[in-house]
Structure 1
Amino acid sequence: MKKLLLASAALAGLTTPLHAQDAPPAADDAAQFESPRANSEIIVTARRRQETAQEVPLAISVVGANQIESTGNFNILKLQQLAPTLQVYSSNPRNTSVNIRGLGVPFGLTSDGFEQGVGIYVDDVYNSRVAAAVFDFLDVNQVEVLRGPQGTLYGKNTTAGAINITTNQPTFDFEGRAEVTAGNLEFKQAKAAVSGPLSDKVAVRVAGGVTSRRGTLYNVTTGQYINEQDNLGVRGTLLFKPSDDLKITLSGDYSKQDPLGYGTTFVRVGRTQRALSRQYDALVAAANAAGRNYQVPSRNPYDRLTDLDSSLNAGNKIGGVSLKAVWDAGIGTFTSITAWRFWDWKPENDRDFTGLSVVAKSQNPSQQDQYSQEFRYNYEGEKIDFVVGLFGFKQRIDTQGTESQGIDASRWSLTGAQANDPSILDGLTATNTQYLKSTSAAAFGQLAWKVTDALTIQPGVRLNYDKKSGFYERVVTNGAGQVISCTPAPAAGTALAAQCGVYQPQSTSPSVSKWNFSYDLNVNYKFAPGILGYATYAKSFKTVGINQNGLPLTAANVPDLSASTVKPESVHHFEVGLKTQFWDRRATFNISAFRTDIKNFQATVNGGQFGTVRGYLANAGKVRSQGVETDFRINPSERFLAYVSGAYTDAKYKKFDNAPCPPELSGGTLQPAGATPDYSQPGVPGALSPRQCDISGQRLPGVSRWSASFGAEANIPVALLANEGQAYIGTDGNYRSHWNSNASPSVYTEVKGYIVTNFRAGFRTERFDVFGWVRNAFDKKYIDLLQVAPGNVGLIAGTLGDQRTWGATVKAKF
């Protein structure tokens, strides 16, 4: 199928392709800030048909193309600034988490062995890995963020929601647009799109864009700025419309990111239960006493300095081809979407987060191929609407990992005389080979029964089959290049025992399959024109997972095979909402309340060590997320628009009594097996550490209890250089209350709340738009992500939010 799709794209003359769907007409979205109009409607395709957002009985946020561009949110990573209940965290493209209402994927290192709970769709094509969807938004029409379980309408089942991205489609009238932006930090961005007919039945659209920006951290070791932006994207779409009833779209895309990054900066040190002489400050002092002369460049993270000594790279290539056919048969609409996508990830990281050579090399390049096929039939009638569909998905991911210890590793990880012998660990290398094969098939459907003009009952069902099989092998060699074996267990106190305590050879071949049945029921009622109430119950699931990054060890020092697979999540979701429009549709107010209970929540477990296991999945007993969301928009005239969206989210572990302990309760000699865990000495060096911790009742990581986004724009008519247009000024921003950045909440990984405010001002006509902008105008100092350094030494490193940036943008249409 891949060869057929590629050949078709080549024959179409698309040298730089991407995928597409029948996009709805450009939405008259007042929130897009393009000549705001009162009484405007937002058209969405959330239920696989075109309708206004206010008619859809579910919680949905819609972000138009102009709002994306004017607020500088040019990829998924920035979307949380516009959707309060969306959480996006990224230490690099692969380790990116996208959650809605605190749910979606486990917080921490990413494993290929589980499914994401937030589905990312671009023109109906499912992107199986978040890393494969971090491309720049290019020629996008709008983005819909659907909150709550999806699956009876969408190809892949998702338990937390979906991000539905639609791009602009080929037109039979010639049109083009171009955009150029320049700003501080050497920021440069250019985008262009051209569309038009090749004949009366064939139209084509081609778009491209480049983005570059200097890094936001200065590495004193290399004399370079890191965490830069260096992105390239191209897309081509060919539309064949042989009749008014049939549309065939061939699309392809290619995206490349090749920045120098990603690295962290020193944030703080917190005491753990490791012996005081083996914690961060003492280890640095000991290294210096031995002639190392090391000092972190700054203990103030907002000096934006780092000293990472390992190679850094974040090469990310994404692309694919899709073929979509839509046939209006009169008695309904048939849709077929065939797609192939690839992802090629080439990273290099500094996993010890310091300028010392503890981990000298860390890289886990991956290659993914995914194929998907979806068939849908839509019917709309006087009393009944329905959608039925079939979905098939196949994926393979191959990863080749290498991690090596450096000259400072012995002092960092060993004790006694061994700590002073760098040759024990220097050059110790773990070479990992792994693959994942994943297959999924589903039948789904949703019915809308219009009982009366006001009342609609909407049930949906899904039958799903998933199969996963994997392979993981770790081969360990010492500094002389000799393969080591840790079976039988080496004698305590030997160099081999020390090496096996850091990297232990391992080989596993997990495999599992599972059928799941899920369903939902929505009842909605139109109380009056412009007033819609709804209630939803959904029984959903996240499919079974496997551990792909190695397994934890048993007391006998062998891999714990019982941890090879992870149970499916069982999800019960309840939601009620009210959507209202009033003042002749000049004002919109929507409110929803939700509760989601998850049994066997798939969580990331990490023991804090370097390489015994990087992190693996386990089931938390129960998780609950509940809260209230509101959206308010007022658009009294073409001269003014304002909006504010807010959310209260209470997301907790209801039962997780075998969780990994936070750093302040880690690093010491383990308490006796079977003993009641003692949590009374957090951060006390030399204290006994619990083997596991009960974090029931604590909040989920990454979730702010309170969050909001806001914006406003005003304009006046102006004639400038004989051009009639509008002068305008606008603002937007977002707020987040404090949250925790560790899977097991820690006092050392608490992130303070913040408000970021942006401004822009410019002049626009029907043909061009020129504006200047300032983002993070008040230069708020805030943190995007905190990470706990391995080894239980107490070091906390972080990724900072952007400082104040400014620039100007010129957009033109022709």
Structure 2
Amino acid sequence: MGDIVVTAQGRAQAAQDVPLAIAVIDPQLIRDAGIVDVRGLRQLTPSLQVTTGQSAATGVVITIRGVGTASDNPGFEPAVGVFIDGVFRARAGLTLTEFPELERVEVLRGPQGTLFGRNTSAGALNIITASPKFDFGGYAEASYGNADEIELKAGVTAPVAGHLALRIDAGYHKRDGYSRDVNADRRFNTLDRYFVRGQALYEDGGLKVRLIGDYAKTDEQCCIAIHTEPGATGPIIDALAALAGREGIITPVDIEKRRASITPERDLMEKVKDWGFSGQVDLALGDFNLTSISAFRDWRALRNQDIDFTGLDRTYREGYRTAIRDITQEVRLQGTVFDGTLDFMVGGFYLDERLKLRDTIRFGAQAGQYVDALLGAATAGLSPLAPNGFSLYGSLPGRPFLGNAFLADPQVQALIAQNPALLSQFTTFLPSPVGTGQYSDNFRVDTRAIGLFTHNIVNLTEALSLTIGLRYNHERKTIRADLNGVNAPCTALLPGGASAVFGQVLAANARFEPIRLLVCNPTINAEFDGDYADRRSESELTGTARVAYKLTPDVLMFAGYAHGYKSGGYNLDRGGFDSTYFGGDGAQLSDLSFGKETADSFEAGVKTNPSRTFQLNITGFYQDFSGYQSLRFEGSSFVVRQFDKVISKGIELESIIRPSTDVSVNLGYTYLHTVVDDPLRAGDDDGKQATNQPRHVVTSAFTWTPPITDTLSGLVHVDARFNSDSNTLNAPGGIASTTNDAYILVNARLGLDFDEGRFGIEAYVENVFDVYYNILGFPVPEQIGAYAVYPSPPRYYGVRLRTRF
């Protein structure tokens, strides 16, 4: 078992010599496990969780040790930083492209407050791709599987001059969807993506320059949600959908069939373009090394979404756009002095980010019918005038306007007596909401961030070392918002509106507040239209202190402390404003602002290599997060809640067993206890295990490459992940129909290698036992007592041909 070299501390070091909890996945294991993007990494690393909720483009959530950022709102930055070839990726969704050939993946657990300083309060993924070589070589792969899956990938590298080598990689991956819409017989959760990536490497003595340019694009339908609880409004949704010849909510629930119902006129389109370039310059200056990494990234996503998640045409998104442009620059100077006693590093980091978001939420063709049906059910029999109940829009026959119910009120009669013109407000239907809503809510956030850091290893003796790191972080965010909505029914009820007096009378009657929220939901409340501007800035010192002791050449003991930080920002959603109509103080950007999140982490562990065939690492950790940023659905919209404390503690075990050159076994176990400690804000969720975080996770990977003849060998690979019980609701308490019992996911691959690996053929199966689990659960907006989940992929299988030269 040779040393695995990592750069987790900004230097090339053997992984077993780094006093840090780190998991390293080598390229051969990545190929054997069939990992194509960051989601597949969780199968091999128990402390890592990667999920995709309502969007593959913007809804990817990466957590380490139970902590991440569960939000597809781009105003929230991830707690787990992702770095590809030293370049920071600003959001988790920006990483969900197909991997080119990799050199390794480093999973750094716990706050990385010094070297990977920006927004890594929970950890970091350090992904290193294969670089150009000065020997001609390449590879090509082609796979075909069920669901009409096609995957093509190829790369070639070659020297073109004495000091210059080039490399190009490209890939294409498509697959039919695994979820079906019963109303239009469409497939969702599809794959359709490609990438191309070019590199140039120049090496001359102490100078090394690596240039990378890449482009990736997706055009997919993702992600469908399935109701597990129809709720009290379910029968009304079914009845109204039936009027349009559609199924509203599929009942009885059979989520393992992965069937859902959405409106045929709506889709779940996601188109993403991601491109950029970077340049890394390494210059050797005697005992010192100077490194500069410059990068430009541009990422754009366009989405549609049926956001009532039913066959009822209530609300939808169309033309939802996100764009993020990042310019980053990092400079590091590293070297050794005092005869190797001090290994120092100093550096700086700069980020210039421009984020644009255009949100669009519209009322569908049955928006008025839904409100009138709910109001009718709530007021049926209230008056002889309305045996079927009252309505607001007159969209259903036989239901008079609700204002008629107040005409017998003495106060209303007195108002009308004073001003007879008010009578029309109590007898005239409100304007239809169909086609109105957010026409274009435009947000722009500009971020400037700088970091100045030093990271030093002091070798006190040959066996004892001390690591000290410190980073100064400063960020400034400027926001501008241009909110444009049309919601005539809501506007009519607000002060100064055409039905303002009726609106005041309606507001005075608490029983009608749910109906008022349907008319003036904060996410489509025209009261908030206008132009806004704000700015915020903050600074934070982060860093680490660690001690390491080599008990023997094969046993390293370490303990350390780290302070991490994630910047505050803005919730880019008008739903976070306070409405004056509901007793608030009106729209102001401070309503959308949230503060920074910090983490204090303590860990201790031991790394051992008792023999060349066996490796065992054990780590215990305790992490205290303050100001934990949480976006939570609270009845009618998503709002920001910052919890006072979130505590994450546990134990991690990792082992590699290689009894022979053709057998390798990777084992991992994590015991995780991550809970909210804030009874005032968390309520019933206080003390509950965090969302999507099982207490026990076990991962394993077995690979056997037996020689068959001198030029022929076999491949047997099986990997598995066991998760204990967990809930998937975006509040830790959980609902029974959205939880997961313990389950195990198994993948397998069988193959033959010809001519010492130059050619190969493999058969693969993902999710061998076709296990179903819920990816994420959520309360469905505007549907009382309704819950839905995003379903997991089924079993996939196929065959892959490959060649290397």
Q: Looking at CA atoms only, which structure, 1 or 2, has the larger radius of gyration?
A: 2
Q: Residues of 2 paired with 1:356 and 1:288: CA distance?
A: 5
TM-score by length of 2: 0.86
In the TM superposition, what is the alpha-carbon distance from 1:132 to its structure 2 partner?
A: 1.3
Q: Which residue of structure 1 lines up, in the alignment, with residue 724 of structure 2?
A: 737
Q: Residues of 1 paired with 2:124 and 2:758: CA distance?
A: 34
Is 1:356–2:318 an aligned residue pair?
no
Q: Which residue of structure 1 lines up, in the alignment, with residue 424 of structure 2?
A: none
Q: Which residue of structure 2 lines up, in the alignment, with residue 648 of structure 1?
A: 671
Q: Which residue of structure 1 lines up, in the alignment, with residue 271 of structure 2?
A: 315
The one-letter amino acid paired with 1:113 is: G
- Distance verdict in 2 for CA 1:127–1:249, change over 3 Å: same
- Equivalent residues of 1:262, 1:314 under 8 A apart: no
Q: Which residue of structure 2 lines up, in the alignment, with residue 803 of structure 1?
A: 794
Structure 1 residues 390-399 or 768-777, which shifts more?
A: 768-777
- Distance verdict in 2 for CA 1:130–1:288, change over 3 Å: closer
In the TM superposition, what is the alpha-carbon distance from 1:548 to its structure 2 partner?
A: 2.0
Q: Residues of 1 paired with 2:238 and 2:8: CA distance?
A: 58
Task: For 1:705-724, list aligned pairs within 5 A.
Answer: 705-719=695-709, 724=711
Task: For 1:606-645, list aligned pairs within 5 A.
Answer: 606-609=633-636, 613=637, 615-645=638-668
In the TM superposition, what is the alpha-carbon distance from 1:746 to its structure 2 partner?
A: 2.6
Which residue of 761, 765, 784 maps to 1:793?
784
Q: Residues of 2 paired with 1:760 and 1:809: CA distance?
A: 10
- RMSD over aligned CA atoms reads 2.3
The one-letter amino acid paired with 2:437 is: T
Q: Residues of 2 paired with 1:82 and 1:404: CA distance?
A: 42
Structure 1 residues 643-652 or 466-475, which shifts more?
A: 466-475
In the TM superposition, what is the alpha-carbon distance from 1:487 to its structure 2 partner?
A: 4.8
The one-letter amino acid paired with 2:216 is: S
- Equivalent residues of 1:511, 1:546 under 8 A apart: no
Q: Residues of 1 paired with 2:693 and 2:367: CA distance?
A: 35
- Distance verdict in 2 for CA 1:140–1:302, change over 3 Å: same
Please give the per-residue CA displacement for 1:65-115, whole angstroms capped at 9, x wherever unaligned. 22222222210122211111111121212011111111121x2x4223233
In the TM superposition, what is the alpha-carbon distance from 1:252 to its structure 2 partner?
A: 0.5
Q: Residues of 2 paired with 1:395 and 1:501: CA distance?
A: 31
Q: Which residue of structure 1 lines up, in the alignment, with residue 734 of structure 2?
A: 746
Q: Residues of 1 paired with 2:652 and 2:122: CA distance?
A: 15
Q: Which residue of structure 1 lines up, in the alignment, with residue 510 of structure 2?
A: none
Please give the per-residue CA displacement for 1:610-648, whole angstroms capped at 9, x wherever unaligned. xxx4x2323111110000010011101113221210101
- Equivalent residues of 2:219, 2:270 under 8 A apart: yes
The one-letter amino acid paired with 2:519 is: Q
- Equivalent residues of 2:297, 2:325 under 8 A apart: yes
Is 1:139–2:112 an aligned residue pair?
no
Which residue of 425, 430, 447 maps to 2:456?
447
- Equivalent residues of 1:410, 1:418 under 8 A apart: no
Q: Which residue of structure 2 lines up, in the alignment, with residue 421 of structure 1?
A: 394
Q: Which residue of structure 2 lines up, in the alignment, with residue 280 of structure 1?
A: 233
Is 1:601–2:563 an aligned residue pair?
no
- Distance verdict in 2 for CA 1:794–1:72, change over 3 Å: farther
- Equivalent residues of 1:449, 1:456 under 8 A apart: yes
- Distance verdict in 2 for CA 1:213–1:448, change over 3 Å: same
In the TM superposition, what is the alpha-carbon distance from 1:557 to its structure 2 partner?
A: 5.9
The one-letter amino acid paired with 2:675 is: K
Is 1:96–2:60 an aligned residue pair?
yes
Q: Residues of 2 paired with 1:386 and 1:79: CA distance?
A: 32
- Equivalent residues of 2:614, 2:655 under 8 A apart: yes
Three-state SS of the structure 1 residue aligned to 2:307 is coil
Task: For 1:487-526, list aligned pairs within 5 A.
Answer: 487-488=495-496, 490=500, 491-492=502-503, 493=506, 499-501=519-521, 503-505=524-526, 506=528, 507=530, 508-526=532-550
The one-letter amino acid paired with 2:195 is: G
Please give the per-residue CA displacement for 1:194-246, whole angstroms capped at 9, x wherever unaligned. 101111021100010000111101222232211110010110001122x2100
The one-letter amino acid paired with 1:706 is: H
In the TM superposition, what is the alpha-carbon distance from 1:116 to its structure 2 partner?
A: 1.5
Q: Which residue of structure 2 lines up, in the alignment, with residue 403 of structure 1?
A: 361
Q: Residues of 1 paired with 2:4 and 2:741: CA distance?
A: 35
Q: Residues of 2 paired with 1:293 and 1:780: CA distance?
A: 30
In the TM superposition, what is the alpha-carbon distance from 1:771 to its structure 2 partner?
A: 1.4
The one-letter amino acid paired with 2:712 is: G
Q: Residues of 2 paired with 1:497 and 1:389: CA distance?
A: 52
Is 1:462–2:471 an aligned residue pair?
yes
Task: For 1:637-716, list aligned pairs within 5 A.
Answer: 637-659=660-682, 693-716=683-706
The one-letter amino acid paired with 1:380 is: T
Task: For 1:197-236, list aligned pairs within 5 A.
Answer: 197-236=159-198
Is 1:477–2:486 an aligned residue pair?
yes
The one-letter amino acid paired with 1:471 is: R
In the TM superposition, what is the alpha-carbon distance from 1:361 to its structure 2 partner?
A: 3.4
Question: Counting helix residues as a fraction of each chain, which structure ranks higher?
Answer: 2
Please give the per-residue CA displacement for 1:439-489, whole angstroms capped at 9, x wherever unaligned. 100101111000011100111101010011212333221479x98794557
* 5+ residue gaps, structure 1: 1-38, 271-278, 660-692
The one-letter amino acid paired with 1:525 is: Y
Structure 1 residues 436-445 or 81-90, which shifts more?
A: 81-90
Q: Which residue of structure 2 lines up, in the alignment, with residue 366 of structure 1?
A: 322
Q: Residues of 2 paired with 1:547 and 1:509: CA distance?
A: 14
Task: For 1:115-154, list aligned pairs within 5 A.
Answer: 115-154=77-116
Three-state SS of the structure 2 residue aligned to 1:365 is strand
Q: Which residue of structure 1 lines up, in the alignment, with residue 403 of structure 2?
A: none
Is 1:760–2:788 an aligned residue pair?
no
Is 1:569–2:527 an aligned residue pair?
no
In the TM superposition, what is the alpha-carbon distance from 1:295 to its structure 2 partner?
A: 4.6
Three-state SS of the structure 1 residue aligned to 2:236 is helix
- Equivalent residues of 1:545, 1:566 under 8 A apart: yes
- Equivalent residues of 2:118, 2:565 under 8 A apart: no
- Distance verdict in 2 for CA 1:760–1:291, change over 3 Å: closer
Please give the per-residue CA displacement for 1:33-54, whole angstroms capped at 9, x wherever unaligned. xxxxxx2322211111212211
Q: Residues of 2 paired with 1:119 and 1:774: CA distance?
A: 31
- Distance verdict in 2 for CA 1:285–1:441, change over 3 Å: closer
Q: Which residue of structure 1 lines up, in the alignment, with residue 229 of structure 2?
A: 268
Structure 1 residues 120-129 or 287-296, which shifts more?
A: 287-296
Structure 1 residues 193-202 or 737-746, which shifts more?
A: 737-746
Q: Residues of 1 paired with 2:654 and 2:719: CA distance?
A: 15
Is 1:184–2:146 an aligned residue pair?
yes
Please give the per-residue CA displacement for 1:676-699, whole angstroms capped at 9, x wherever unaligned. xxxxxxxxxxxxxxxxx3532122
The one-letter amino acid paired with 2:739 is: E
The one-letter amino acid paired with 1:351 is: I
Three-state SS of the structure 2 residue aligned to 1:102 is coil
- Equivalent residues of 1:424, 1:499 under 8 A apart: no
- Equivalent residues of 2:725, 2:742 under 8 A apart: yes
- Equivalent residues of 1:177, 1:812 under 8 A apart: yes
Please give the per-residue CA displacement for 1:378-398, whole angstroms capped at 9, x wherever unaligned. 113521112211000011111
Q: Residues of 2 paired with 1:599 and 1:328: CA distance?
A: 41
In the TM superposition, what is the alpha-carbon distance from 1:367 to its structure 2 partner?
A: 1.3
- Equivalent residues of 2:602, 2:622 under 8 A apart: yes
Q: Which residue of structure 2 lines up, in the alignment, with residue 667 of structure 1?
A: none
- Equivalent residues of 2:58, 2:73 under 8 A apart: no
Q: Residues of 2 paired with 1:428 and 1:189: CA distance?
A: 42
The one-letter amino acid paired with 2:621 is: F
Please give the per-residue CA displacement for 1:334-389, whole angstroms capped at 9, x wherever unaligned. 00111000101001111111111011434421111110000001113521112211
Q: Which residue of structure 2 lines up, in the alignment, with residue 390 of structure 1?
A: 348
The one-letter amino acid paired with 1:605 is: R
Which residue of 544, 549, 553 maps to 2:573?
549
- Equivalent residues of 1:245, 1:329 under 8 A apart: yes
In the TM superposition, what is the alpha-carbon distance from 1:651 to its structure 2 partner?
A: 0.4
